[in-house]
């Protein structure tokens, strides 16, 4: 396994570019009681430089979402996911999606039909677990972003065992899926089966609800702008951690909340 230490550079931006030049990320996230996850994902994506962000939501959540994130657009969520990936250059699946049977069908359908790279996070990962019983059916590359609990469910293990053998766990996630795996936590690991990146940025203030949703949106934005999945994942976790360090210096580690991160990401990306 080759260890990667160099942080990838940010996607290039043409001075004469327009919003269509910098990609479109389609987000399948949010449900009753968990609209905040969709909001944070969209804010992470928009601060990550994507030109357009479209979020697929239940009809009754579209209006409050638009008030919270007016720069994003919405699409009514239907079982067929009609229109979800139209014009998209990347997708994000899972934050706050819930554990319904319909959600599981939608996640599997999106993975099976997508022709753009994606981030698979949170409830989408839980809906795929355990991996051993569901062969990977996607046609496009994906970045899986589990925390130790989600990794344990995917691998049929325990959080404690994942933490005791983090490198083995992230490698096993790659082996079972053939995809890029991001094992979140202190010293987040990114692996594609042949390369391993150990992130050094970040602090324990990032251990707060919604932090991972912002990260999913950020990586999705980098994918949408044309970065390769492994590089997008490495840069995303590094920038996310640097944003957490910036907020912690200004405020405190205990006082850091996920809403602080998107604006800090914009500063880190200067």
Residue 10 counted as domain residue:
no
The reported pTM is 0.97
Q: Per-residue pLDDT for 179 more than 80? A: yes
- Return the percentage of the chain with pLDDT > 70, whole number: 99
Order of strands, sheet of 195-198, starting from the edge strand that comes earlier in the sequence: 2-4, 195-198, 189-191, 180-183, 142-144, 118-120, 90-93, 24-28, 52-57, 73-76
> Tell me: the pLDDT tens digits for 3-13?
999 999 999 99
User: Is 73 domain-assigned?
Assistant: yes
* pLDDT band for position 138 (cuts 50, 70, 90): confident
- Tokens 């139209």 found at: 86
Task: Tell me, yes or no, whether 61 lies in a domain.
Answer: yes
pLDDT of residue 133: 55
| Domain contains 4 | no
Q: Residues 169-190: what's their mean pLDDT?
A: 96
CATH number at residue 252: 3.40.1190.20
The count of structural domains within the chain is: 1
Q: What is the mean pLDDT of residues 87-96?
A: 98
- In this structure, are residues 25 and 53 in contact, taking their beta carbons and an 8 Å threshold? yes
User: Is residue 3 situated within a structural domain?
Assistant: no
Range of the domain at 123: 20-268
Is 246 part of a structural domain of the chain? yes
Q: Please give the average per-residue pLDDT across 185-194, as a whole number.
A: 97
The pLDDT value given to residue 134: 58
Chain segment 118-135, per-residue pLDDT in tens: 999 999 999 999 987 556
**110 domain-assigned:** yes
pLDDT at 117: 97
Is position 230 within any domain?
yes
């Amino acid at each position: 396994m080759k260890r990667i230490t160099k942080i990838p550079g940010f996607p290039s931006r043409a001075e004469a570019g327009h919003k269509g030049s910098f990609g479109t990320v389609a987000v399948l996230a949010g449900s009753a009681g968990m609209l905040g996850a969709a909001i944070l994902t969209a804010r992470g994506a928009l601060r990550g430089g994507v030109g357009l962000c479209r979020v697929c939501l239940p009809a009754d959540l579209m209006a409050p979402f638009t008030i919270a994130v007016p720069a994003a657009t919405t699409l009514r969520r239907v079982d067929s996911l009609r229109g979800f990936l139209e014009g998209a250059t990347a997708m994000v699946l899972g934050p706050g999606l819930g554990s319904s049977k319909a959600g599981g069908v939608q996640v599997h359908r999106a993975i099976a039909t997508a022709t753009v790279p994606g981030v698979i996070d949170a409830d989408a990962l839980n809906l795929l677990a355990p991996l051993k019983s569901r062969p990977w059916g996607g046609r496009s590359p994906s970045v899986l972003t589990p925390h130790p609990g989600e990794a344990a469910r995917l691998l049929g293990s325990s959080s404690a065992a994942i933490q005791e053998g983090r490198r083995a766990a992230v490698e096993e996630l790659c082996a079972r899926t053939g995809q890029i795996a991001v094992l979140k936590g202190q010293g987040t690991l990114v692996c594609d089966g042949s390369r391993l990146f150990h992130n050094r940025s970040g602090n324990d203030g990032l251990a707060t609800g919604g932090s991972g949703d912002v990260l999913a949106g950020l990586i999705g934005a980098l994918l949408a702008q044309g970065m390769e999945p492994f590089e997008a994942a490495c840069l995303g976790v590094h920038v996310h951690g640097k944003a957490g360090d910036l907020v912690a210096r200004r405020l405190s580690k205990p006082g850091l909340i996920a809403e602080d991160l998107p604006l800090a990401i914009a500063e880190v990306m200067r």
